[in-house]
């Protein structure tokens, strides 16, 4: 999964700082901090999705935060992204979570079109990051 994470970060013009130990730790915690789905083709990984459970103070309900959904560029358009999103949605429904939320870079128009085709609506917000040292 780590090579896909790095490919995803590079696609979004960023850098992934996670290593195997941190990723393993997120899965091994009880309860796990992270849920993940990996799509394979011909025995190799071609896409992944990761999510965490969060809580909205506005709605008073828990929701699933889709942290990442990525499909290798050479495999896009084949239904892999839709299958991953379906699995994420089913995971949320099985846990009685109110919705799935995520963000994508504003320049990624292909992703926005894909998400709209899947029935998602877009909220106009900007995401900020404040480092805590």
The per-residue pLDDT for 81 is 97
Positive or negative, the CA dihedral 124, 131, 60, 89 is: positive
Q: Please give the span between the terminal C-alpha atoms of the chain, in angstroms, as a whole number.
A: 28
The per-residue pLDDT for 41 is 93
Spatial contact of 48 and 38, defined as CB atoms under 8 Å apart? yes
Below-50 pLDDT ranges, the chain: none
Neighbours of 51 (CB within 10 A): 24
Reply yes or no: is the peptide bond before residue 11 cis, omega within 30 of 0. no
Domains of the chain: 2-117 (3.40.630.30)
Spatial contact of 55 and 47, defined as CB atoms under 8 Å apart? no
Q: What confidence tens digit (pLDDT) does each residue in 80-102 have?
A: 999 999 999 999 999 999 899 99
């Amino acid at each position: 999964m780590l090579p896909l994470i790095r490919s995803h970060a590079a696609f979004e013009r960023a850098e992934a700082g996670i290593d195997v130990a941190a990723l393993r730790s997120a899965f091994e915690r009880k309860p796990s901090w992270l849920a993940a789905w990996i799509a394979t083709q011909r025995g190799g990984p071609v896409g992944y999705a990761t999510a965490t459970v969060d809580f909205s103070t506005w709605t008073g309900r828990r929701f699933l935060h889709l942290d990442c959904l990525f499909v290798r560029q050479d495999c896009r358009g084949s239904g892999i992204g839709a299958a991953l999103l379906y699995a994420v949605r089913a995971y949320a429904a099985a846990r009685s979570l109110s919705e799935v939320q995520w963000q994508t870079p504003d320049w990624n128009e292909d992703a926005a079109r894909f998400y709209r085709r899947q029935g998602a609506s877009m909220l106009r917000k900007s995401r900020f990051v404040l480092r805590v040292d």
